[in-house]
Amino acid sequence: MPSKAASLALSSHPGPAIAVTIISAGLGFAVGLDPAALIFLFLSMLAGQVSVGLSNDWIDAELDRAAGRTDKPIARGWISATSVRNGAWIAGALMVAFAIPLGWSSAVTLFAAILLAWAYNLGLKRTPFSVVPYILSFGALPAIATLALDPPQAPALWALSVGALLGAAAHFANTLPDIDADRAAGVRGLPQLLGRRVSSIIAYIVLLLAAVLEVFGAGGLGFLPADIGLALNVVICTIGIVLINRPTRWHFRLIILASLIDVVALLFAGPSLLA
């Protein structure tokens, strides 16, 4: 049996938590945050993401037990729901402490993004509005970085839009492998209502739109990272549509690949991320 610390780490959804933290720090680096602000941005986002992951496992503990989820430490009996709940609150408090040096505008935006993620865990994921927290939270990521500058600066509208589109794609991608299990558990979020095929198509189209926005946001054709990103997205979208009736894992991997390509192009945009 893993230790309590290891079980807490597994309950925090470490993959998505680390990925979003790295993206946030990358955006901070891209817009020119000083090293101290960059460290506080990294730590505050990591703490916030850990709190979100822990809250998910704590809130869904009974459902995970009933479903026999062997990938969930609480369901396996490795750690109590109370310990995971306490960890979520501690991580949330650390997020607040680490975010204060970023300035009130960046900190408030970060708090709002994390609160939306908690709202998803608390019930929005079981409604047709399940994609909304993802759209708003991911859409806020460029703002969290640019508002941490001294003085704070507004993000470009196109960057906010790309973040929102990446959030929508992340929601559909995350739910694809578990749609059947979610439906059996009574979860009726937007992807579960639309089904695997339609959700995959939407994710491909959304990521292609994000790539188009990156090209125009960075000043039009001629910015190599965005140009390459758009070309690759066209190829991935085409492959995905052709293989639309293949097993879910095909689409999950293709959507994640397209998302990573869009993220890299966004991080290379640098000063273009500023309004």
Query: Can you read off the two tokens belonging to residue 199?
Result: 């959700």
Whether the CB-CB separation of 248 and 198 falls below 8 Å is answered with: no
Query: Helix 35-59 and helix 104-122: axis angle, to 10°?
Result: 20
pLDDT band for position 212 (50/70/90)? very high
Burial class for 131, CB neighbours closer than 10 Å (0-12, 13-18, 19+): buried
35: which residues sit within 8 A by CB, 6+ positions away?
none
pLDDT score at 77: 84
Q: What is the mean pLDDT of the chain?
A: 91
CA atoms within 13 A on the CB side of 200: 25
Residues 6+ apart with CB under 8 A from 223: 215, 268, 269
CA distances from 275 to 23, 85, 260 (A): 19, 39, 24
- The predicted model scores a pTM of 0.92
Instruction: Determine the average pLDDT of the residues in 179-187.
Output: 78
Looking at residue 41, what is its pLDDT? Answer: 97
Residue whose C-alpha is closest to residue 117's, from 133, 93, 140: 133
At 5 the pLDDT is 86
Q: Which pLDDT score, from 0 to 100, does residue 176 have?
A: 84
Contact status, residue 45 vs residue 29, Cβ threshold 8 Å: no
DSSP β-bridge partners for residue 274 = 155
